[in-house]
Structure 1
Amino acid sequence: MNAKTPGQSLPPKKDRREVARETARIQREEQKKRDTRNRWFLRGGIGLALVAVAAIVAVLIVGSIKPPSPGPLNMASDGILMQGDGTTISAVPTAATAADAEPVPTDVSALTDTVNIAVYVDYLCPYCGQFETTNGAQLASWLTAGNITLETHPISILDQSSSGSKYSTRSANTAACVANYQPDSFLDVNAALFANQPTEGTTGLSNAELVSLVEEAGVTDEAVATCITDQEFSGWVGDATDRALDNPLPNTDIGALTGTPTVLVQGVQYTGDLGDAAAFEAFVMEQATATTDTSGTDTGE
């Protein structure tokens, strides 16, 4: 028998049973209320979690959809066209492409007195470097003499190969900065970028080192340094790269770009040895002759 609490009498047995049933009923009701609250809390938590996930996804989607970027001066075709007059090399001036405008392909029908060469390059691409090392001096010689025009399209398809530094984009932006602010120095900077080409898998040159590189190549306009540091045309580089990868190449019968370097002579792709200067020269002469035979205009040296 339980000890009786001092000063407190026990209720009759019948009343004790009623009290126990009532207590149990109250406990059941309280448990139901707790269960209901927990279910609502759970549902609310799931709802809030879903809202949070949806918000994160929306931010990621919006962040990945970047608005088009305006292009640099003198690259209306997504490339810069260089020409020579017998003594000097200069850029053909063009207006900047608006952010929402399509590039304007070079009108090669107006270039009847030269062999027209176009190259698509990534400054981290070792094969692009090989082509430049082998043929850069010859191209510059032909260009100075006025025998060819040379249109260079810097693109970025190897960002994933620069340990997170996006060197392909940064170096292509560097080229675009020069095209915009000091275009006649473009060919010298192009050669310097390849002469100092980093190895794939490394971070490559820093922005400060790219600034030093262009200055050593003869760039004096201080706006170029700011442009490189601020990555002024990095958005355009991405847009131009997407256009090259998604659309047929202008002035050719070739579909979308599949790799670099892509070298086009009179709209015909060179598929020979990138390290064989004689083979490339023969191909250029072949295309020049083919143009002469078709048009009756001598485009050779």
Structure 2
Amino acid sequence: MSQSRSNYTPRPMSNVTTYALGALALVVVAIVIIVVRSGRDEPLPTRNEGYGQVHNAAVVSALGSDGTVLLGRPDAAKTIDFYEDPLCPACGQVERAYGQELAQQLDEGKLAIRFHYVNFLDKKSGSGDYSTRAIAASECVAASGSGAVYSKFQHALFVDKQPAEDGDDLGNQQLADIARDAGAPADAVQCVASGAKVEAAKANAKTATDALKNLNDQKVSTPSVFDGTNRLDMGNQNWVVEVAG
């Protein structure tokens, strides 16, 4: 059986058509880029806005021998682990978005938080050691024992007073002023101002870094939050409520 052949011969695409399709493709790519950038840069909404920081006197802060800071009521139902660098912008965003919601869970005893501070962003600070000094300041304030004071200090450190990367940062006296404004006692304020815990903070930051690597496929990324060995998805806006149960 013979095969029939079409007599149609396609004409070559004109230059005008080629340019039009090319322009359309560029517009589509531009729109995609704008959408992606807008989604990436859009700040997270603040959860539980108006609650404020911890205000239940039953919430305490405790400084561990490894530099971890435990914040919560002694009878808290569950403890989760936060890994943060004081200069990390994303850590500041998480504190801004979820800090008040977490504060209520701490006040109600549904959660306690164990903070592990790393200092890999020291090199991104103007002084070259800001993260380490901020960790040392946190240790001074945590040792004073007041959960409400520590909560205010931590919020100021990551939100209200957090320096930008690759720019000027805060000196020890400025960190001490933040501690004083949060209500820290005189000995804690002096501890911050003198840098008394800086050397210990260096060693503790390395311990925290090693622990984070073990949990996170040998990667150091902050903020990272774990419920046991399960890393929580902070892209899920309901993660605080869900982990608190």
- Structure 2 unaligned blocks of 5 or more: 1-61
Distance 1:175 1:257 in 2: 24
The answer on whether the counterparts of 2:116 and 2:208 sit within 8 Å (CA) in structure 1 is no
1:259 to 221, 239, 242: 221
Q: Secondary structure at the match of 1:181?
A: coil
Identical aligned residues as a percent: 26
User: What is the rounded CA distance, in whole Å, between the counterparts of 1:215 and 1:172 in structure 2?
Assistant: 16
Q: Does 1:225 align with 2:189?
A: yes
**1:197 matched residue in structure 2:** 162
Matches within 5 A, 1:243-254: 243-247=207-211, 254=216
What SS is found at the alignment partner of 1:260? Answer: coil
Where in structure 2 are the equivalents of 1:1-301 lying within 5 Å? 74-84=63-73, 114-184=77-147, 185-194=149-158, 195-219=160-184, 221-247=185-211, 254-256=216-218, 258-273=220-235, 279-281=236-238, 283-287=239-243, 300=245
The structural deviation recorded for 1:114 is 1.7
C-alpha change, 1:287 and 1:145, in structure 2 (3 Å) is: closer
Contact residue 244 and residue 256 of structure 1 kept, 8 A? no
Instruction: For 1:202, give the aligned amino acid.
Output: G
Any idea what SS the aligned residue of 2:169 has?
Answer: coil
Deviates more, 1:162-171 or 1:193-202: 162-171
> What does the per-residue CA deviation read over 1:195-232, in whole Å, with 9 as the maximum and x for residues that have no partner?
2111111231121211111111111x211222112211
CA distance in 2, matches of 1:247, 1:268: 14
Distance in 2, Cα, partners of 1:257 & 1:215: 35
Structure 1, unaligned runs of 5 or more:
1-72, 85-91, 93-110, 274-278, 289-299
> Partners of 2:211 and 2:115 in 1: how far apart?
17
Instruction: Say whether the 8 Å CA contact 1:74–1:183 is kept in structure 2.
Output: no
Quote how far apart the aligned CAs of 1:142 are. 0.6
Distance (whole Å) between structure 2 residues aligned to residue 205 and residue 248 of structure 1 = 26
* Per-residue deviation, residues 92-116 of structure 1 (Å, max 9, x unmatched): 6xxxxxxxxxxxxxxxxxx7x6232
How far 1:183 sits from its partner (Å)? 4.2
Q: RCO (CA 8 Å, sep 6+): is it higher in 1 or 2?
A: 2
Corresponding letter in the other structure for 2:72: Q
Amino acid at match of 1:83: G
Distance 2:132 2:211 in 1: 20
Secondary structure at the residue paired with 1:237? helix
Distance 2:141 2:135 in 1: 10
Alpha-carbon distance in 2 for matches of 1:228, 1:248: 26
TM-score (norm 1): 0.55
- Rounded Cα–Cα distance in structure 2 between residues aligned with 1:247 and 1:164: 26
Shift of 1:172: 0.9
